[in-house]
Amino acid sequence: MRKIGALAVMIGIMGLAGCGQPTWITIWRGASHPMAYYVVSNMKVPLKDIGGEYSVLNINHGASETSNHLPLGTQIYTIRGESPSRNLAVETSAGNFVKATYWGVSKP
């Protein structure tokens, strides 16, 4: 079942590469910067560069961690040597990660 979900994520990310709307995630970053949008790229992040778990996407779109295309339960990680306020890693399937880059406080 997890493989099917991972395949759906990969197809969604690849399919959106040519579309007008990028794949994005929102992350709650605290009271001073309540919501931050990150744009998900297809740039791979090597497993050796993955840091700790940062967040998990929530099914409730009123929640603080959501996405316009990624499924609930998608894991978000820090990237070693990079600030999570600039870049995060999104797990697209077991052991496979792509980079999400900070966009700002409004939707891309």
* Domain limits, the chain: 2-104
The span from the first CA to the last CA of the chain, in angstroms, equals 31
12 φψ region: left (φ > 0), alpha (ψ -120 to 50), beta (else): alpha
3-state class (DSSP) for residue 6: helix
pLDDT per residue of the chain (108 residues) written in tens, 0 to 9:
555 544 444 545 554 444 568 999 988 877 776 788 999 999 999 999 999 999 878 755 555 678 888 988 899 999 999 999 999 999 999 999 999 999 998 888
| Predicted TM-score of the model (pTM) | 0.75
